[in-house]
Amino acid sequence: MATRSMKVRRCGVVMIEPREEHELDIAGLFAGTHAVRARVKLVALAPHAGDEIELDEAEVAALGRVGDTDWIDRDALTARVPEAVIDSLLAKGLFVGDGEADARMRERDETVRNVHWKPLSAVAHAFSRWHEAGVDEDVRITRHRTLTELIRESGPPPPHITSRAAPEQRQSLPEPRLTAIDAILARRATCRNFDTAGTLDLERFGDVLKRVVGCQAEVEILPGTKALKKAHPSGGSLHPLEAYLVVQRVAGVAPGLYHYHVTAHALEPVATLEPVALRDFAMRCVAGQDFFADAHALLIITARFERTFWKYRSHPKAYRAIVLEVGHVSQNLYLTATELGMGAFVTAAINEVDIEQRLGLDALRESPIAVLGFGPRASQKTMLEFDPLGEVWDGDALKASTTQGTARRHPPSA
């Protein structure tokens, strides 16, 4: 029996998706009329609730009658919403009560509000996360479709280039000049062939972290408020990204999970895992793509949303800016690893939920956006890489020039 003095309001963020489902219709199949039956269900996407929630029409109507700001006396609400619907929406966490029974959902709802998520971004973030994808399947069989198959199923892709003016209207640009970075850009190729027998030396491991996720300066911009200067740009200069490492084969570093401390330029242990568990976690990180899980070190890039949303509150561009920022980090990793004679990769096909659980993260506050990886390449190529000019591979053999790094020590600081 509900407590009469209870107060209720709607959760802060919920969106409704009318979703058509197709199911096998055995009766129709035998009658020879139709094999598949379509049904439209109403799905609530509420980031604080975690899972998708199916609703009926009365529940959807009730959500439209109750605001998310003021607390309403439950007795008064029964004039607008039937008792049974109030109960079911409270049970589903889409109405939030002020009593002890609703404390957990209320706290989750308050997190969405306090982190200052833009509703569209919160829904996109919460419901694009994977859990255990690629764990019990061979991704090469289930996900890999050849170009020929894709074209057969979907027709040709949109054209690979576009043009907006007639050729005679084009203004030609000077012949491009070549500088040192061109050689690095030319050798950059997503690595799917890591050297699984060897280890990565500690020097290059540290160099990569310093350049890619480290900082060059920590500045007190106002009394008590500090900001970091890093190699990549950051929306509002807030630098919300964090780096965690799955260290598998790095000389002088015990295999395990670490957090990178950005100003100390040091590893902080998060968990020590047995080799089998570590490999299993690496595979989960990259959703079963074993050629990426083979990297000597994986770099999990998470975002602390609160940090960016502190300035850009409920802002339509804030989440997008964070995702863009990870792209900059990724390219810096590719260039740094290439310059140091190593391979690198980035993937967005990641099991965010498994990573959050292992690192103890609350997805509404901090969550992984991409997983990167780096390390020396194998001497022989077994997995496909895109190297049309033969800058990295000579047939299936690694070119010697690919492995030549040009690092030298920083001068000792004064």
Ligand X SMILES: Cc1cc2nc3c(=O)[nH]c(=O)nc-3n(C[C@H](O)[C@H](O)[C@H](O)COP(=O)(O)O)c2cc1C
Interaction site with ligand X (CB under 6 A): 189-190, 289, 346-349, 386
Rounded to a whole number of angstroms, the minimum distance from the CB of residue 155 to ligand X is 21
Closest CB to ligand X among residues 77, 392? 392
Between residues 60 and 185, which has the closer beta carbon with respect to ligand X? 185
Query: Least distance from C-beta 349 to ligand X, angstroms?
Result: 4
Cβ-based nearer residue to ligand X, 160 or 408? 160
Spatial distance between the Cα atoms of 58 and 67, rounded to a whole number of angstroms: 16
* Identity at 134, one-letter amino acid code: G
Closest distance of CB 323 from ligand X, Å = 9
Q: Among residues 35 and 384, whose Cβ is nearest to ligand X?
A: 384
Q: How far is the CB of 385 from ligand X (least distance, A)?
A: 6
Of 88 and 190, CB closest to ligand X: 190
| Beta-carbon count within 10 A of 49 CB | 20
Q: Which amino acid is at 194?
A: F
Beta carbon of residue 90, minimum distance to ligand X (angstroms, whole number): 40
Angle between helices 352-359 and 275-285 (to 10 degrees): 140
> Which residue lies nearer to ligand X by CB, 93 or 373?
373
Q: How near is the Cβ of 179 to ligand X at its closest, in Å?
A: 20
For every residue of 22-83, DSSP letters joined together read EEE-HHHHHHTS-SEEEEEEEEEE-TTT-S-EEE-HHHHHHHTTS-SSS-EEHHHHTTTS-H
In this complex, which beta carbon is closest to ligand X, that of residue 13 or of residue 321?
A: 321
Query: Minimum distance from CB of 188 to ligand X (Å)?
Result: 7
Reference 376, options 408, 403, 347; nearest CA is 403
Characterize 107-145 residue by residue with b for buried, 16 or more Cβ atoms within 10 angstroms of its Cβ, and e for exposed.
ebbebbeebbbbbebbbbbbbebbeebbeeeebeeeeee
What DSSP string runs through 246-304? EESSBTTB-SEEEEEETTTTEEEEEE---HHHHHHHHHHHTTT-HHHHTSSEEEEEEEE
CB 241 within 8 A of CB 254: no
Minimum Å gap between C-beta 317 and ligand X is 19
How far is 93 from 96, CA to CA, in rounded Å? 6
CA 18 vs. chain centroid, Å, equals 26
User: Distance between CA atoms of 350 and 35, rounded to whole angstroms?
Assistant: 35
Smallest gap from Cβ 143 to ligand X, in A, equals: 9
366-375 and 343-347 beta bridge pairing: antiparallel
Nearer to ligand X, 187 or 296 (CB): 187
Residue number with CB closer to ligand X (289 or 351): 289
Dig out the tokens for 248 from the structure. 């598998």
State the nearest-atom distance from the C-beta of 402 to ligand X, in Å.
Answer: 13
Chain-centre distance of CA 395, in angstroms? 34
Q: How far apart are the first and last CA of the chain?
A: 73
Taking the least distance from each CB to ligand X, the nearer of 86 and 286 is 286
How far is residue 112's CA from residue 252's CA, in Å, rounded to a whole number? 41
Residue with smaller CB distance to ligand X, 130 or 310? 130
Residue 125 Ramachandran class (φ > 0 left, ψ -120 to 50 alpha, else beta):
alpha
Q: How far is the CB of 338 from ligand X (least distance, A)?
A: 11
